[in-house]
Amino acid sequence: MEQTFNAAEINVGFHPDGYRIDRTASPMNRYTKWQILPGNQWCNPEPVCFDSLPQRGWIVKDRFDWDEINMKGERNLSL
């Protein structure tokens, strides 16, 4: 099992409940909530405030790998 962290310790990472922190991103993409589809495809990001994020259980990433934007304008994220 991967080591988990508190939200305040994350520069770039995700939470298994569909949240993402990317402090290297633009302000609207810094803290987001995603819909998770079968096959672990993340789509439909919505900006959220830091206080609404789960505070524990975060997994650190070096960066996110983005797939192309699909026809509905949804962005899929591969973890």
Considering the entire predicted model, what is its pTM? Answer: 0.80
User: 79 with 62: CB under 8 angstroms?
Assistant: no
DSSP the chain: ----EEGGG-SEEEETTTEEEETTS-GGGSEEEEEEETTTEEEEEEE--GGGS-SEEEEE-S--EEEEE-TTSPEEEE-
Tens digits of per-residue pLDDT, 28-56?
889 999 999 998 888 999 999 999 999 99
Confidence grade of residue 77 (pLDDT, cut at 50, 70, 90): low
